């Protein structure tokens, strides 16, 4: 049994990722204990299916963006990088970079959109401090060079809206074929979509 807090967890197949997501259906969300971690991922993906209907990669990034929550500690400072590292071999660099981006994207939006901070959940405001607080102007300028900035912002806003207890959304089975499609597309793409280092 691997150490669940291991920073070196790397999935080797979609089946392994799905098995982990299914287990998250028994894990209360760290952001809202009225829903599970799986509910939160499914709601994020469902929102992105509407806001980014042609971008299967960002939809799958939404599904799995918080899968490392059980491995991280209070304030969740490392879950984005841990999650990206865990799925990169299966889902590719673009999805991994989007997962890495979802914490800096919150710091970016807090710094650049005054109305954004007002709509964050209480838990999200609390973790913001542990995650570095609002970006500095220099960090904002650097983040805006990220070639997938538009998708990163869509992922973040979907994430923030995906906390509705009891929301009816497609289940995990709905996403299995899409995961395979994204994995197949990414397999030959290499690390061409830039990275997020913040
Ligand atoms: Fe999330």
Distance 103 CA to ligand 1 centre (A): 9
Distance 159 CA to ligand 1 centre (A): 5
Residue 2 has pLDDT above 60, yes or no: no
Least trusted range by pLDDT, from 43-52, 63-72, 121-130: 121-130
Distance 30 CA to ligand 1 centre (A): 9
Beta bridge partners of 36: 28
Please name the helix (run of DSSP H) or strand (run of DSSP E) that holds residue 16, with its range, or none. Answer: helix 14-24
CA angle, 21 then 27 then 28, to 5°: 125
Least trusted range by pLDDT, from 20-24, 160-164, 183-187: 183-187
Are 148 and 98 in contact by the 8 Å Cβ rule? The answer is: yes
Confidence at residue 197, expressed as pLDDT on a 0 to 100 scale: 43
Interval 115-136 mean pLDDT: 88
Distance 124 CA to ligand 1 centre (A): 9
Residue 194 has pLDDT above 50, yes or no: no
Dihedral angle over CA of 37, 43, 48, 50, nearest 10? 170
Are 168 and 69 in contact by the 8 Å Cβ rule? The answer is: no
Distance 58 CA to ligand 1 centre (A): 13
Nearest alpha-carbon partner for 58 in 171, 142, 150: 150
Distance 189 CA to ligand 1 centre (A): 26
Confidence at residue 75, expressed as pLDDT on a 0 to 100 scale: 78
Domains with residue ranges and CATH for the chain? 14-163 (1.10.3210.10)
State the pTM of this model: 0.89
């Amino acid at each position: 049994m691997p150490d669940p807090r291991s920073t070196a967890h790397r999935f080797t197949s979609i089946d392994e990722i799905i098995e982990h997501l299914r287990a998250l259906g028994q894990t209360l969300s760290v952001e809202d204990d009225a829903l599970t971690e799986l509910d939160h991922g499914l709601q994020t993906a469902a929102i992105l299916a509407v806001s980014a209907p042609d971008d299967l990669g960002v939809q799958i990034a939404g599904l799995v963006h918080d899968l490392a929550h059980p491995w991280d500690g209070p304030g969740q400072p490392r879950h984005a990088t841990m999650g990206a590292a865990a799925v990169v071999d299966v889902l590719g660099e673009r999805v991994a970079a989007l997962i890495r981006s979802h914490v800096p994207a919150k710091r970016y939006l807090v710094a650049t959109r005054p109305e954004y901070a007002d709509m964050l959940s209480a838990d999200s405001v609390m973790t913001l401090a542990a995650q570095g607080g609002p970006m500095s102007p220099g960090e904002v300028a650097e983040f805006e060079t990220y070639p997938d900035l538009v998708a990163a912002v869509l992922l973040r806003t979907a994430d923030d809206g995906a906390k509705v207890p009891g929301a009816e959304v497609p289940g995990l089975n709905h996403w299995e074929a899409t995961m395979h499609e994204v994995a197949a597309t990414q397999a030959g793409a290499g690390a061409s979509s830039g990275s997020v280092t913040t």
